[in-house]
Amino acid sequence: MNPWTLAGLALLLLPLLTMAHEVAGHALACVATGHMPSEIGAYYVECPNTGPWARRIVAMAGTGMDVLLAVLALIGWHRVRRPLPRLVLWLVFTVKGMVAAGYWMFSGVSNLGDWGPDVGGGIGPLPWPWLWRVVLFAVGLFFYIVVTRRAIRMLGAMLGGGEPARQAQRRIAMTIYLIGGVSAVLVSMVNPLGIVITLISAVASTFGGTAGLFNVAYAKPRDESPRDFVIGRHQAIIVAGVLMMLAFATVLGPTLYLH
C-alpha cells in the first residue's frame, strides 16, 4: 500500500464527497424545490426564501445524498475485485456512511445542523422535539455501529490478517481521518461566516463524523494469512488529489456567490 497514493486518494475523493453532500444534495434540492442557492461554500449552502417544507427538504437532502452514495458504494464493492477500485468504494462507503449516521447523532444531541427538530434546528420545528432528538440520536448510533463494523469486515476481506494487515488497516484509516480533518479545518477557515461553520460543519463532519475510523484502525485483524492486496504508486492520482484539494479550497473555501 503506497502511502503517497493513499494520500492522493484522500485528497481527491474527500473534497468530491463533501461537494456531493453540499452541491448534489443541498444545492440541487434547493433548485428542485423552485429556488436558487445564493451561496455555496465548502461546507454549507444558503437557499433563501424557502417555505417550511422546502427548507426541510433542502436540509435533509445532504444526508440523503450521503446515504445514497454509501449504498451504491457498498453494492459496487461486492462486485469488483481489483484492489484500487475496491479501496475507492470502501472509502466512499465508510466516509459517507459514518457522516450520514453522525449527522443524525449530532443533530439529536445538539439540535443543530441538518436534522435539528426544534426551532433552531435544520428541519424543525416539529412536535415533541425532545422525542425526535432522542430518536435521531438512537437511529444515528445504531447505523454508525453498523457502518463501522461493516467497514472493518470489508477492509479485513481485502487485507486478510497478520501483522502486514494490521499495519495496512491502520495506515489506511488514519490517513483518511487525518487528511480529511486537517484539510476541512484549513479550507473552512476562510469562509465568510466565521468560526461557527468551521465548528458545526467542517470539524463536526470530519473529526467527529469519521471518528469511527479509529475503531477501524485498531480493530483486531483476522486470524488468517495476509491477502495479496497491492496498490503501487500512481503519480496521476497524487497529482489529481493535490489539484482537487487546491481547487476545492480556492473556489468553495471563500464561498461561491451565485447572485
pLDDT at 204: 80
Checking if the pLDDT of 259 tops 80, the result is no
Please list, in sequence order, all residues whose beta carbon lies within 8 angstroms of the beta carbon of residue 20, skipping any fewer than 6 positions away: 65, 66, 69, 96
Checking if the pLDDT of 192 tops 90, the result is no
C-alpha cell of 60? 435533509
59-92 residue pLDDT tens: 999 999 999 999 999 999 999 999 999 999 999 9
Q: Is the peptide bond before 15 cis (omega within 30 degrees of 0)?
A: no
Q: Averaged over 217-236, what is the pLDDT?
A: 90
The larger pLDDT score, comparing residue 50 to residue 200, is at 50
pLDDT at 156: 94
Q: Which of 218, 208, 187, 211 is nearest to 19 (CA)?
A: 187
CB 214 within 8 A of CB 177: yes
Residue 160 banded pLDDT, cuts 50, 70, 90:
very high
pLDDT at 18: 96
CA angle 209, 2, 175 (to 5 degrees): 20
